[in-house]
Structure 1
Amino acid sequence: MAGIEPAVAAALLRTPAAGHLVERHAPARYHIHDLLRLHAAGRAAEEDQHHQAIERSARLPAEVQGQAAAEVPHWSNLAVR
């Protein structure tokens, strides 16, 4: 599923399995530990909020400029000092 050979995947999973981060439940089948799953979900939510904040901040100048243009006549002719 990850696009790598099963032997390579098994080798990559040895260290997390030794640390009890993943558990082998059948040949070539692993489960992520519940605490690791919760941590990953929390990090994903934080990253999503971070990306949303970046997108909002990127739109802010255009929104502010549009509001100012509506309130101040000839906004584009004003010099910024």
Structure 2
Amino acid sequence: MPRVSASQDQDQILVRLGAAVRARRAQLGFSQEALADAAEIDRSHMGKIERGERNVTFLNIARIAKALQCKPSDLLLEAGL
């Protein structure tokens, strides 16, 4: 079984979290721009978060969760984390 590097593992975590944010956003019918505005995060940064290209601070996870009407732990659970 090939060993996964720590960097690959971290990247996968970010991708899974981004997918959970995107899925919940779509479920609620929000555009990416509307979510970014509600969470007070730049729209381009939100796109990078959803694609797993940015390491997200806990404060931003909390802002995103609030905008998505859930708890931060709900997003982490949906991401399998």
Identify whether the pair has TM-score above 0.5, normalized to the shorter chain: no
Report which structure shows greater RCO (CA 8 Å, sep ≥6): 2
When normalised by structure 2's length, the TM-score is 0.30
Pick the structure with more strand per residue. 1
Query: Larger radius of gyration, structure 1 or 2?
Result: 1
When normalised by structure 1's length, the TM-score is 0.30
